[in-house]
């Protein structure tokens, strides 16, 4: 089984995880925060770490960002 940090995911899944983590934080405590960190790990890959009560790490490509910007509007 691959770790989340080594498997590229659709950027929509990243935003779903952010929403789920924030919602879980609010349900459990009524307060809290999310920390989102990102760093370039390769020429065309970005590592995104979402931290809440637990944390998740994802890798997205430059192409994922271009597609998301052209199709999804938050």
pLDDT in tens, 1-34: 334 556 778 899 999 988 988 888 888 777 777 8
Domain count, the chain: 1
Give CA–CA dist 68/6, Å, rounded: 20
Domain range enclosing 64: 4-71
Cβ atoms of residues 60 and 67 within 8 Å: no
Q: What is the DSSP letter of 8?
A: B
Q: What is the pLDDT of residue 73?
A: 59
Asked whether the beta carbons of 57 and 17 are under 8 A apart, the reply is no
User: Is residue 47 over pLDDT 70?
Assistant: yes
Residue carrying structure tokens 């770790």: 3
Whose CA is closest to 57, among 6, 22, 12, 20?
6
Residue 36 dihedral angles phi and psi, to the nearest 5°: -120, 120
């Amino acid at each position: 089984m691959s770790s989340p940090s080594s498997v590229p995911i659709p950027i929509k899944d990243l935003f779903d995880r952010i929403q789920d983590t924030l919602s879980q934080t609010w349900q459990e405590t009524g307060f809290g925060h999310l920390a989102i960190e990102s760093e370039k790990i390769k020429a065309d890959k970005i590592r995104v770490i979402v931290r809440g009560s637990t944390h998740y790490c994802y890798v997205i490509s430059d192409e994922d960002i271009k597609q998301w910007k052209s199709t999804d509007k938050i």
